[in-house]
Amino acid sequence: MRVLITGASGGIGSAIIDQLRGNDEVEVWATCRHPRSAQIPGIHTVFSDLDRPASMRPALEGVDCVFLFSFTRQEVLPELVDALSVAGVTKVVVLSTIDTTRHEPFVEYNKQRHLAVENAIIDGGFTTVSLRPGAFARNAIRFWASQIRRDRTVGLPFPDSQQAPIADEDIAAVAVRAITTPHLDGAKIVLTGPDSLTMRDQIGLIGEALGESIGITVLCEREARALYGEVLPPEYLDLLMGQWAFETTERAVVTDAVREITGRGAVTYREWAIAHREAFV
């Protein structure tokens, strides 16, 4: 079976490739969006762009299953579905989001763009598995690492906002199960880490991994938008500000899907922080 991993240079894509190495029944191909991305050792890598489906054709040759990083623009979805179909792809594992299960107004943008991809693939007649993770543990690197390295302090608008951050390798492990077996065919799976943690808790665990205390500065909305706007586009900044405020009112959704599907417990945030401590040094 030939499998194509899109977004292969990212955290989840690269973790899937690592976990598929040594599986003699799977031939792994990879696609990256940026030509300057490094070639992945031992993997046939094609540079292509999901927003330009014609560029995907060389990567889809002989492919049976695609792991689809679902940030494709809605207007090109029919062309992408056609490219997959013409290539003879039979299964697509879609990386979606937990926001597709929510109903608050602030998730609407993210919800609709991911549902559009899920529905286009399902309507295209492919065997489909939708993975719907909650907050990524690696968001801490994107949002906080530079602050921690520079100041040993993190600015937070809502320090008591709660998430259940999930490690890339746990999403990848479920994706590998979906790719290599029929057991998850047709499923829409909400994936989370094992614990609901406030941002204050998360910062504390990163500090423990570093062996030192990390301070927290509570920001007003204007200050938070200025700070996080450096790493987020406006539509996601609006989403996260609304979501973080809402998440102060209740514990995060926690599922046991990782254990049920893989047979092992999900990586804890403490374990993740220790494994990634170098990002914060």
- pTM of structure: 0.95
For residue 140, the model assigns a pLDDT of 97
| Interval 96-127: pLDDT, tens | 999 999 999 989 989 999 999 999 999 999 99
In sequence order, what DSSP letters do the residues of 201-251 get, joined into one string? HHHHHHHHHHTS--EEEEPPHHHHHHHHTTTS-HHHHHHHHHHHHHTTSSP
Report domain extents, the chain.
Answer: 2-133, 139-164+194-252+267-280
Written as one letter, the residue type at 70 is S
Helix axes 11-20, 168-180, angle to 10 degrees: 50
Instruction: Give me the pLDDT at residue 143, please.
Output: 96
Residue 7 pLDDT: 86
pLDDT at 116: 95
154 touches 280 (CB < 8 A): no
Provide the pLDDT for residue 137: 98
pLDDT of residue 77: 94
pLDDT computed for residue 51 by the predictor = 85
The stretches in the chain having pLDDT less than 50 are: none
Helix (H, G, I), strand (E, B) or coil at 164: coil
How many whole angstroms separate alpha carbon 122 and alpha carbon 125?
6
Tokens coding 247: 């998440």
Tokens 């992945």 appear where? 40
User: What CATH number was assigned to the domain covering residues 2-133?
Assistant: 3.40.50.720
CATH topology of domain 139-164+194-252+267-280: UDP-galactose 4-epimerase; domain 1 (3.90.25)
